[in-house]
């Protein structure tokens, strides 16, 4: 990983990548090489003890960048990403990523597709179609992850393995830093 840059510089660089076509190899290489100055991320960190938070940093028609904040023991349910290209990088703490394969759709039947992967700061996970993210209680610390979605989406499918059910879930932001398509460089 290279030197630290501000979150404002990350957004500016992502806007340049978007203009160049947002090619997966270039985006992935950028995310692997970039380190975010922790203090510049601070204004996007909001922790809620009842649920993990989704904090919008920047959004255009081509991508959205969020800071997700996780109290100890919080988890996202098993969900999909609407066929979008997605990346998650651990910025603080530790998270566990578990990938799944959909074996049948009606009723939904999922199978874990490999061992769960634990990521420390700097760990980049190119998110698969269906997965779960969690801040395991044994980690004993809050976590923050940066999520980049190539094309924003407003809903996803949530899978409940115990009931073998799926449902559509509307997504929301817990905080919005800037208007859509606007960036003040801060």
Tell if the pTM clears 0.85, that is, is over it: yes
Number of C-beta neighbours around residue 31 at 10 A: 21
What's the rounded mean pLDDT across residues 123-146?
92
| 45 DSSP assignment | -
Cβ atoms of 4 and 35 closer than 8 Å: yes
30 φ/ψ angles, rounded to the nearest 5 degrees: -60, -45
What domains are defined for the chain? Answer: 4-176 (2.60.120.10)
Residue holding tokens 């606007």?
Answer: 182
d(CA 142, CA 122): 15
pLDDT in tens, 149-177: 998 889 999 999 899 899 999 999 999 98
| Mean of per-residue pLDDT scores for the chain | 91
What band does 129 get if pLDDT is binned at 50, 70 and 90?
confident
């Amino acid at each position: 990983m290279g030197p630290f840059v501000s979150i404002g510089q990350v957004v500016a660089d992502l806007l340049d990548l978007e203009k160049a076509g947002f090619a997966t190899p270039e985006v992935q290489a950028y995310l692997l090489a970039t380190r975010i100055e922790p203090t510049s991320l601070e204004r996007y960190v909001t922790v809620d003890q009842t649920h993990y938070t989704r904090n919008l940093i920047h959004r255009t028609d081509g991508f959205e960048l969020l800071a997700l904040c996780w109290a100890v023991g919080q988890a996202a349910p098993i969900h999909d990403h609407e066929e979008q290209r997605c990346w998650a990088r651990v910025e603080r703490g530790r998270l566990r990523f578990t990938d799944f394969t959909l074996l049948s759709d009606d009723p939904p039947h999922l199978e874990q597709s490999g061992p769960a992967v634990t990521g420390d700061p700097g760990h980049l996970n190119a998110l698969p179609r269906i997965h779960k993210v969690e801040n395991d209680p044994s980690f004993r610390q809050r976590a923050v992850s940066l999520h980049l979605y190539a094309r924003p989406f407003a809903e996803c499918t949530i899978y409940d393995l115990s009931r073998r059910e799926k449902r559509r879930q509307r997504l929301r932001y817990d905080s919005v830093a800037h208007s859509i398509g606007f960036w003040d460089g801060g």
